[in-house]
Structure 1
């Protein structure tokens, strides 16, 4: 008789996952670590420049317009970063999410239900907290979605700085949280932050999107084993889809997610390859992640994080604005409460328990780390209040303050657990039969 994954004596959640998944996520987080350091550096440079004697040159650069107006592409450099470069970031979100549910560990309900539910709790609770704090102010209430997302690059940069040796189970949990957060955030942007939608461009966008999807699914039949040939066709179709979605009034980053979803993860016999194995998604992820982590996201951070604080008086005014207060409380308190609370309730409801390598303090530390909301939070702040408005500036102060506080709190918790993490790391690296797969993963597979 098969095991019930929810029986109290046998069931566990937040396990280490398969060895292949551990290797893949470890590679992703190493790339995101470099991107996170660049992101933080770009934000610091922007803040210093925006509050220096030559601040006017920063804002002149950010607001410099370039593009073709008849195509609705006469945008400032800051808008190009938000609408254009972030589409690359969300393209990878689409790829990653599809990869997780098609070929990753999350295709199994027993492994996906906890991190997905935790991510939903980590989105809902901060949104409610922000809304309650701004309930009497309709003009600021529209920023309720600002504290809903987790910045994975910033988070892993913090982990790199403090030297935390997270077990594989926590790394998988953190990445899954961030990816589902991003999906929920882009869904919120598409539904609540799209205005003056034009049906014509939106319907036209379906044509290149459908052709892009068809060619991506059959790319080996049409392009053979030469991905570069696929790029020559797929990239222009992707750009055309992005441009039409942008012209329709829906935020152009939505196009990035749709294009990511269209890429095949598993190579099929119909596409000219073997029945299983890596698909075009792996190739595109390898090519686009360095561009996203090393260029797109840091440039967006540079143009979005630069806010003129106006000295101590200006900082005090920003931090007493209900917008900033709502964001700080929502990210610092609401995020961990939503993630930790949902995870705990789910384990109690299913009579499951944490994996034996973890304790609740570890989940609490991860929940605090998830309070680092930066890239997507900055984007939603601009969509909520308008680029450069007083509430947008105060929202950015709140985002920066909350991310810093969350980073410090998470570090203080996770550092105390480093000794235990090193012991788990050592256990997960033992390979007595020298077959390239650590013993604990072989034991998990046999079990």
Structure 2
């Protein structure tokens, strides 16, 4: 078979894209650690003698009811702060579609297929586990999502020498995975839609996009202009979308899709960054350093109830379904999706990647923290016991997935590091690595 008989994807990324993703991973590593710290503090506080103060803080209500904004602090974190996180997800997704790994069908189809299969298989496993109790089927989407911050934090810590395509693959997979989760929230966890607020929200989002496109050069030059002009408009869009009955975090993605990801001709000639890059640079610390950890703090606080409560949680079909879906279903779905794609099409993996590398990424995708916690809250709004058990399952599964993925990827990282050393040895000093002369 000739080299032109199949397409190799994901292809080796350019230096600029690898640099951008590497920088992103460093930032997310910090955010991932803050996320874990916030969750641990919440879990300890919720099971301490001071647990009542934690739940009182979480349920403390602030806001203005006539605008449908009288919410508890926990709801503000889930509906409001996570919109910032999803805004960055939307920016990254649009950038990948316009100028990154999703720009070409040949490079996009593998991570998209992997993400879709990585959502479907965990959901099917969960449904199979709870099938005998129809009331629990509402949580089918809980094990479907991958936590970007947590996953790339682990990859950044253990994968310093892993190949560039693997990093691109994980980031693209996680972004598409979250987009599917957002679509699931919009379609399956929205019960009553108010058309008038929805229409107003859409109009405001269109206005937001027009202003962002029309005045993007000014927003790039003046640091405070987006905060003064776009932030109030974005908040208005979020508020009306919240009033419409659709989960307000979707406003973050919708607003992000309107932001230009390519610089204007003049800014491009001057070497100035695009507006999406500016926004990502400014909002990333707010998201990873505040919004996501605060959400995790309010969402992860579950009262286990001692040994008896822990035993109940372990035996709950929700717990079993979520853990099995994340730890087994995620890697199985991702590997199965990629394998079927290579089986029925002419697409092949990049030669730099091995199937064992994808096993590590598949396990890493089983870290379903932020979005999974959000879906758990939406799934069992009237059944706090199953809601708490689902959260316990998410945290346990995420720890198991992170541990297994770290073992696999750290082993692969040592191998790639050894290869890099072998390829750099030049004992005879002729500026040609010895390994190439031996070949």
Counterpart for residue 334 of structure 1: 329
Q: Deviations over 1:288-317 (max 9, x none)?
A: 011101110000000001101111221111
Aligned mates of 2:272, 2:61 — CA distance in 1: 45
Aligned mates of 1:132, 1:376 — CA distance in 2: 22
Asked whether the 8 Å contact 2:217–2:264 carries over to 1, the reply is no
Counterpart for residue 122 of structure 1: 118
1:150 counterpart = 2:155: no
Counterpart for residue 428 of structure 2: none
Cα separation, partners in 2 of 1:289 and 1:224, compared to 1, 3 Å: closer
Deviation at 1:195, TM superposition (A): 2.1
Cα separation, partners in 2 of 1:429 and 1:25, compared to 1, 3 Å: farther
> Within 5 Å, which residues of 2 pair with 1:294-309?
294-309=289-304
Q: Deviations over 1:362-400 (max 9, x none)?
A: 111110111010000000000111288111000001101
1:104 counterpart = 2:95: no
User: Which stretch has the larger CA shift, 44-53 or 130-139?
Assistant: 130-139
User: Which stretch has the larger CA shift, 421-430 or 183-192?
Assistant: 421-430
Counterpart for residue 136 of structure 1: 132
1:71 counterpart = 2:67: yes
User: Which stretch has the larger CA shift, 42-51 or 275-284?
Assistant: 275-284
Unpaired segments of 5 or more residues in structure 2? Answer: 426-431, 433-439
Aligned mates of 1:296, 1:358 — CA distance in 2: 35
**TM-score in terms of structure 1 length:** 0.90
Aligned mates of 2:377, 2:26 — CA distance in 1: 29
User: Which stretch has the larger CA shift, 174-183 or 275-284?
Assistant: 275-284
Deviation at 1:16, TM superposition (A): 2.9
1:411 counterpart = 2:428: no
Question: Matched residue of 1:416: which SS?
Answer: helix
Aligned mates of 1:328, 1:251 — CA distance in 2: 25
Aligned alpha-carbon RMSD (Å):
2.2
Unpaired segments of 5 or more residues in structure 1? Answer: 431-438, 440-447
Counterpart for residue 436 of structure 1: none
Aligned mates of 2:124, 2:188 — CA distance in 1: 16
Asked whether the 8 Å contact 1:357–1:424 carries over to 2, the reply is no
Alignment size in residue pairs: 424
Counterpart for residue 444 of structure 1: none
Counterpart for residue 434 of structure 1: none
**TM-score in terms of structure 2 length:** 0.91
Question: Matched residue of 2:224: which SS?
Answer: helix
Question: Matched residue of 2:102: which SS?
Answer: helix
1:402 counterpart = 2:397: yes
Asked whether the 8 Å contact 1:319–1:325 carries over to 2, the reply is yes
Question: Matched residue of 1:306: which SS?
Answer: coil
Cα separation, partners in 2 of 1:283 and 1:317, compared to 1, 3 Å: same
Cα separation, partners in 2 of 1:387 and 1:88, compared to 1, 3 Å: farther
Q: Deviations over 1:93-128 (max 9, x none)?
A: 110000001011320111111011100000111111
Asked whether the 8 Å contact 2:139–2:380 carries over to 1, the reply is yes
User: Which stretch has the larger CA shift, 375-384 or 158-167?
Assistant: 158-167
> Within 5 Å, which residues of 2 pair with 1:13-412?
13-162=9-158, 165-220=161-216, 225-269=221-265, 273-274=267-268, 278-386=273-381, 389-412=384-407
Asked whether the 8 Å contact 2:220–2:275 carries over to 1, the reply is no
Deviation at 1:173, TM superposition (A): 0.8
Deviation at 1:268, TM superposition (A): 3.6
